[in-house]
């Protein structure tokens, strides 16, 4: 059998959709633990909070032979006041970062889902190293804040750049561009 390093294997495409099964919910929780507890050490023990109970959890699923395989990305959204939505806990598995634009696809599904549910303002607290990425995706800086001892930028999405997505459970299939195209 040929062993393939995760980074050498290019997954042909990903499902970007709302979590609707226990497998997807468990995968999202495990990924968040790997990223926010083990890797970034922002939380000790676990990163769950009361927002998890009311949030919609979105996931990116890798595929293998056209079937959904593993949860490799996640983000959650929730409505805090009428029309005011927040995105949080955006995470992509280390082996899948900066290769397939999963962060971008999850942000798109997050804002588009909220829009279809009546969102008039969409905010997120973004870790400073990720601010340039959000700016490129039509987000504006609002205010610097410290959360869990880590500097963040409160940012707001330009809703005009995100058409409503009325069926997030169906979501979409994100086909990866070939490597040479992605590198351009
Ligand atoms: C931030 C994160 C979700 C981005 O996911 P990703 O799948 O690697 O990002 P994408 O591949 O969609 O990136 C899109 C573009 O932004 C760029 N980008 C990604 N992270 C970036 C960063 N921190 N700063 C600047 N650019 C960045 C990518 O290179 C890519 O560039 P391109 O448009 O020229 O191809 C991922 O790096 C991650 O999980 N980090 C650890 C947890 C974290 O920081 N969560 C966010 C809390 S706000």
Domains and CATH numbers, the chain: 13-170 (3.40.630.30)
Q: Are the C-beta atoms of residues 142 and 80 closer than 8 Å to each other?
A: no
DSSP per-residue string spanning the chain: -----TTTS--SEEEEEE--SHHHHHHHHHHHIIIIIIIS--SSS----THHHHPEEEEEEEEETTEEEEEEEEEEEEEEETTEEEEEEEEE-GGGTTTS-HHHHHHHHHHHHHHHTT-SEEEEEEEGGGHHHHHHTTEEEEEEEEETTEEEEEEEE-GGGS---S-TTT-EEEEPPPHHHHH-
Spacing, Cα 130 to ligand 1 middle (Å): 6
Q: What is the mean pLDDT of the segment spanning 122-126?
A: 98
pLDDT score recorded for residue 106: 98
The reported pLDDT for the residue numbered 65 is 84
pLDDT at 4 over 90: no
Q: State which ligand 1 atom lies nearest to the alpha carbon of 104.
A: 12
In ligand 1, the atom with minimum distance to the C-alpha of 125 is 48
Give residue-wise pLDDT tens across range 15-39.
999 999 999 999 999 999 999 999 9
Measured in Å, residue 102 CA sits from the centre of ligand 1 at 8
Q: Would the pTM of this model clear 0.75, i.e. be above it?
A: yes
* pLDDT tens string 132-166: 999 999 999 999 999 999 999 999 999 999 999 99
Which of 130, 147, 154 for a ligand 1 pocket mutation test, highest count of atoms within 8 Å of Cβ?
Answer: 130
Q: Which atom of ligand 1 is nearest to the CA of 97?
A: 8
């Amino acid at each position: 059998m040929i062993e393939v390093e995760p980074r050498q294997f290019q997954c042909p495409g990903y499902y970007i959709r709302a979590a609707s099964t226990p497998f997807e919910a468990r995968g999202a929780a495990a990924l968040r633990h790997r990223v926010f507890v083990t890797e970034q050490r922002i939380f000790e023990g676990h990163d769950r909070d009361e927002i998890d109970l009311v949030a919609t959890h979105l996931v990116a699923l890798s595929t293998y032979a056209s079937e959904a395989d593993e949860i490799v990305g996640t983000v959650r959204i929730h409505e805090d006041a009428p029309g005011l939505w927040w995105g949080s806990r955006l995470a992509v598995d280390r082996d899948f970062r900066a290769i397939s634009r999963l962060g971008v696809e999850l942000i798109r599904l997050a804002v588009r889902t909220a829009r279809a549910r009546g969102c008039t303002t969409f905010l997120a607290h973004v870790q400073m190293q990720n601010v340039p990425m959000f700016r490129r995706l039509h987000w504006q800086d609002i205010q610097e804040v410290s959360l869990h001892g880590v500097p963040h930028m409160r940012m707001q999405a330009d809703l005009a750049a995100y058409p409503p997505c009325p069926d997030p459970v169906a979501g979409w299939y994100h086909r990866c561009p070939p490597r040479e195209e992605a590198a351009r």
